[in-house]
Structure 1
Amino acid sequence: MKYLIKRYLAVVYEALLLLALALALTAAYVMLLGDASHGWKRLGLQALLWLVMGAYFVRCWVVTGQTLASQTWKLKVVDQHGQLLDVQQAVMRYVLAGVLLLPAGLTLWWALLDREQQFLHDRLLGSRIIVLPPV
C-alpha cells in the first residue's frame, strides 16, 4: 500500500505542476489572441494545452522514464522488459491515460484493484511504474 500512496502523491504533485504550466500557457494565449472562452479560440487553447502537456510527458518518458514528480518520488516508467518507452509507446500511454481518466479517474481507481497496483493504462499497454532504489 505504501507503493500506491507514493504513486498517488506523485499524481497530485504532477497535477500541480501541470496546473502551473496550463495557467502560464493560457495567459500567453489570451494575451496574444484575446478571449478564449468560446469558438475556435477555445478549441485552439484546449488543443495547445493537450499537445504541450503531451510533449512534456512523452519527452520525459522517452529520455529518462521520469517526469519532475516521478523524480521526486523515485518512480520510473518502463516497458515490460524494464527499458525506457519508445516514442510510439509514450504517445500511446499519454493518449490512453487521458482517455481512461475521463470516466471519473478510472485508471487511478483501477490501481486499487490491480494485483501489482498498476494503473489501467499501464496494464493495457504493458508498461509499468517501478520504484527506484535509494541513492
Structure 2
Amino acid sequence: MGSLPALPCTTGNPVRPARCRTDRSGHDSPTRTVIRPAVTHLTSTPGIGKRLLSLIYEVLLLTAVALLAGSVAAELAQAAGAATPRMITQMAVALTTAGYFAWQWHRGGQTLAMKTWRIRVETTAGARLSLPRALLRVILSAIGYGLLGITVLWALLDRDRQFLHDRLAGTRLVRAV
C-alpha cells in the first residue's frame, strides 16, 4: 500500500508556527497533532506617570480649544439675548471637550497627547471603541477625576494598573507601537 502524501504543518501564522508530529520517515504525519501555544497579549499597560503626563499635555491642548468654544458660545448667547449665557458657555465647553475625546477614541483610539506619549485606548478584547462606549468612558472619567482623582488611586491598587473608569467602561489603556 502507498503512503499518503505529507501535509504541510502550518497554522497560517508565521510568527507562531505549529509543531507537528512526524512519522518514522521524517515526514509530517497525515494524522498530525498541532500544538497551539496559549494566547498571550502582546500589549502592556503604560505606567501611571506616563498616563498622568499625557493628561497634563491633554489639558494644555484643550485649554485653547475650550477658550475658543467658550468665546464663540458666549458671543452667540449674548447676541441671542439668552437669559443664562454663562450656562450655555459652560455647556459648549463641556460638549466640545466630550466630543473631542469620544470622537478621537472612537476613530483611532488616541488623542493627540496619547499619540505623543504612545498610549492607546481599546476595549478589553483589543477592539476599537464604539462611539457609545467612548462616550461612556468620557462620562465615567469625568466623574472619576472629579471625585478627587479616585480613578488614579484605583489604578495604584488595580492588578493591571487600569483606571476605574476603564474597568467600568470595559476599556483598557495599552502602549501603542
Q: TM-score w.r.t. structure 2 length?
A: 0.68
Name the SS for the 2:47 alignment partner. Answer: helix
CA distance in 1, matches of 2:176, 2:73: 38
Q: Deviations over 1:38-83 (max 9, x none)?
A: x621111111111111111111011100000000011100001101
CA distance in 1, matches of 2:90, 2:47: 33
5+ long unaligned stretches in structure 1: none
Change (3 A) 1:2 1:120: closer
Aligned to 2:71: 27
CA distance in 2, matches of 1:75, 1:2: 7
Aligned to 1:123: 167
Aligned to 1:6: 50
- Letter aligned with residue 67 of structure 1: T
Which one of the candidate residues 81, 88, 91 is aligned to 2:132? 88
Aligned to 1:76: 120
List, as ranges, runs of 4+ consecutive aligned residues in structure 1 with deviation greater than 6 Å.
none
* Number of residue-to-residue matches in the alignment: 130
Q: How does 1:46-57 map to 2 (within 5 A)?
A: 46-57=90-101
CA distance in 1, matches of 2:154, 2:95: 26
* Identical aligned residues as a percent: 37
CA drift at 1:2: 6.9
CA distance in 2, matches of 1:109, 1:52: 27
Q: TM-score w.r.t. structure 1 length?
A: 0.87
CA distance in 1, matches of 2:72, 2:91: 14
CA drift at 1:33: 3.6
Specify which structure has the higher proportion of helix.
1
Q: Which has the higher contact order (CA 8 A, sep 6+)?
A: 1
